[in-house]
Copies of this chain bind each other. A is one copy, B any other.
Amino acid sequence: MAYHLDKIDIEILKMLQKDSNRTTKSIAAQLDMSTSPIFERIKKLEKEGYIKKYVAVLDNKKIGLKLTVFIGITLQGHTRSYLEKFVKEINNFPEVVECHRVSGNFDYLLKLVVEDIEAYETFIITKLTLLPYLGNVQSLITLSTGKETNEIDLSSVL
């Protein structure tokens, strides 16, 4: 039987996806509760998989990875085994942070984070175009980013 999120769980998730270093004490204070139920709820949310992990969010640009690129890709073949192989290969490329199979004008949409245009081109030449069955490839180079977060909208849940 599946565990169901209640209003308090949602509030906890909202806080933790904004700042996971919040202490149980501070969360408890905000929700007018004691620390134990907060602690237990968080543990349950982790165990049940609602919280997948805790990570540090880095400043890409400051660290030297100044370029984000989206790449739309169409494939020439669409056999199941090939699609799986394609995704598997893509997963080995550390520059690729996202890979989505999509409907619409492309088969796949990739998101890359790299140092600069040169690193991008190197990726295309030495990695991407070596994959077989590659069809059309169209890149969207990011000029500026107006919003970039991982925070999902929990207000619509429940």
Contact = CB atoms under 8 A, between A and B. Distances in A.
Contacts of A8: none
Contacts of A114: 153, 156
B87 A147 contact: yes
Interface residues on A, range: 35 or more
Contact of A147 (B17, B72, B97): B97
Contacts of A101: 142-146
Given A55-B55, A104-B141, A154-B63, A149 B16 contact: no
A55 B18 contact: yes
Contact of A55 (B141, B150, B153): B150
5 contacts: A54-B56, A90-B147, A96-B147, A99-B145, A101-B146
